[in-house]
Amino acid sequence: MPKKRIRRFVKEYFIKSYEMLQNTENKNQMPSAESLHRLVNNVSEILYIARMQDVVSMQFVSSKACEVTGYSCDELTSDDPGWAELVCEADAGRYGQAFKEACETGKAFQIEYKITIKDGSVREVRDKAQPVFDDKGQVTEIDGLIIDVTEQNRLQRELDRTQMIQNLGRLAAGIAHEINTPIQYIGDNIRFFSDSFGQVAELLDHYSRLSEAAVNGKMDDELLGKISSVQERNDIEFLVEEVPQAIEQTLDGINHVAKLVSAMRDFSHIDERRKMASDLNKAIENSIVISHNELKYVADVEKELDASIPSVCCCVDDINQVLLNLLINSAHSIEGKLASSDAKRGLVTVKSWAEGADVLISVTDTGSGIEQKLQERIFDPFFTTKEAGKGTGQGLAFVRSVIVEKHGGKVELQSEKGVGTTFTIRLPIEQESGDDREQQ
């Protein structure tokens, strides 16, 4: 039976059981303890009851835990090893803190973490927990459900890589154009320098003869006339004016190509998914460079980047992709608005700033905006407001996955139809570093 049907069945079964318990006439229809126990252990997820003492202590785990971990239920509900001891060291702090806060606040939570199972391999799990209260409103226990998401996350990582490659592939023509344009005028300027050098070399040869004649006291009108003729023929005044400009233009072109190549190099590390201290302003700059060909025909870009923001512990490759998705969305939104209005260009504004323990980045555009009724669905996988062939509906789903699920951050949307849209991402400055996205 599919997992969704099992979960729905369990929920409906317990609701019906509870209703029957309240109805004295139907008490004889209550399922037996054996039936309920069988039901709990037949569910494909791990069901548990936990208490928060000094550490998280499992009071009960369903038999699915044995299949996932290789340990018996008795071992997992004892101190040897106990479920909490299976949690990988890098995630142990977050795990314990999540349960502690649930006991203090009474709020349900969801957390993903890694566990080391009996054979020494690592599994990834998603833990959904709900506090249980006594008649005084105090949290006494935590009921939860644990899902093994190892394979799901592996497939998601593969999808992430595929999407990054697809996005870069889609931008490849624009990137080639961005490189080709400065290369062309660099080549033109080099040919100009080559021709000019021959003219200047001829003039220098005559100046050398003039200097030698002056030393020997043999200067004559014929030599001076030749120098004057060479100067006029080679238009030395033009060279004096144009050569410095050509040099400056060439250096600008080289810098532009170097900047683009550097941005592409930063984007190309699609197999390195470790969290490490990263410069988000640099990530923003790189993303703007990569998306320039998409933006330059429809919008100007303004940057308001706070140079004092601290480094953020994150997987910068994922953040690069998030920013690229948001910038391309802005370009498409503005393009759509320009097609149906008299406006000639739009504006994209990218900001960064620190706020408490977080760093925030916002991307604002003057595009077509998003209708209020669609805003709740905008992060759903495969949902898109773009025309056929323009979007897959995976871009914003990816944004939410990276920021919320992988980095514990937040994504906020503010939009008004016909006015524009602002996406704001909030990232915690401190996170557990290391290879949080271990390759499977």
337 versus 228: the higher-pLDDT residue is 337
According to DSSP, the residues that pair with 113 across neighbouring strands are 125
Best-predicted range by mean pLDDT (15-24, 68-77, 152-161): 68-77
**E strands in 225-340:** 276-278, 299-305, 312-314
- pLDDT, mean of residues 205-215: 76
CB 216 within 8 A of CB 290: no
The residue behind tokens 């490659």 is: 165
On whether the CB atoms of residues 425 and 417 are closer than 8 A, the answer is: no
Contact 186, 193 (CB under 8 A): no
For 96-106, what is the mean pLDDT?
A: 89
Residue 21 has pLDDT above 60, yes or no: no
**What integer is the mean pLDDT of 61-83?**
88
CA–CA distance, 39 with 71 (Å, rounded to integer): 21
Q: What confidence tens digit (pLDDT) does each residue in 285-300 have? A: 988 988 888 888 899 9
Query: Could you read off the pLDDT of 365-374 as tens digits, one per residue?
Result: 999 888 887 7
Categorize the per-residue pLDDT at 170 as very low, low, confident or very high, splitting at 50, 70 and 90: low
26: DSSP letter: G
Closest CA to 160 of 368, 367, 406: 406
Q: Cβ(110)–Cβ(129) under 8 Å?
A: yes
Pairing mode of beta strands 299-305, 346-355? parallel
DSSP result, 97-151: HHHHHHHHH---EEEEEEEE-TTS-EEEEEEEEEEEE-TTS-EEEEEEEEEE-HH
If one compares 237 and 349, the residue with the highest pLDDT of the two is: 349
**pLDDT per residue over 27-54, tens digit each?**
555 566 677 767 777 778 899 998 887 7
CB 259 within 8 A of CB 184: no
Q: Give the global pTM.
A: 0.51
Please state, in angstroms and rounded to a whole number, the distance separating the CA atoms of residues 327 and 365. Answer: 9
Enter the tokens of residue 169.
Answer: 């592939």
Distance from C-alpha of 405 to C-alpha of 369, rounded to nearest angstrom: 26
Highest mean pLDDT among 97-111, 240-254, 267-281: 97-111
Kindly report, residue by residue over 377-407, the tens digit of the pLDDT: 776 654 455 554 444 445 677 788 888 888 8
More confident residue, 22 or 227: 227
Q: What pLDDT, on the 0 to 100 scale, is given for residue 26?
A: 52
**Res 268: pLDDT:** 58
Cα separations in angstroms, 284 against 166, 177, 262, 377, 393: 20, 21, 13, 26, 23
Residues sharing a CB contact under 8 Å with residue 105, sequence separation 6 or more, in sequence order: none
- Contact call for residues 63 and 76 (beta carbons, < 8 A): no
Q: What is the pLDDT of residue 350?
A: 96
Mean pLDDT of 348-360: 95
What percent of the chain is predicted at pLDDT more than 70?
Answer: 79
Provide, rounded to the nearest whole percent, the portion of the chain with pLDDT above 90: 21
* Nearest Cα residue to 401 out of 310, 305, 321, 312: 321
Given this model, what pLDDT does residue 1 score? 41
Distance CA(75)–CA(292), nearest Å, equals: 57
pLDDT of residue 224: 74
Residues 6+ positions from 353 with CB-CB distance below 8 Å: 306, 309, 359, 360
The answer to whether 273 and 315 have CB atoms below 8 angstroms apart is yes
243-260 pLDDT, tens per residue? 888 888 888 888 878 877
Q: Which residues pair with 313 in a beta bridge?
A: 277
- Contact yes or no for 10/43 (Cβ under 8 A): yes
pLDDT at residue number 167: 66
- Between 262 and 358, the more confident residue is 358
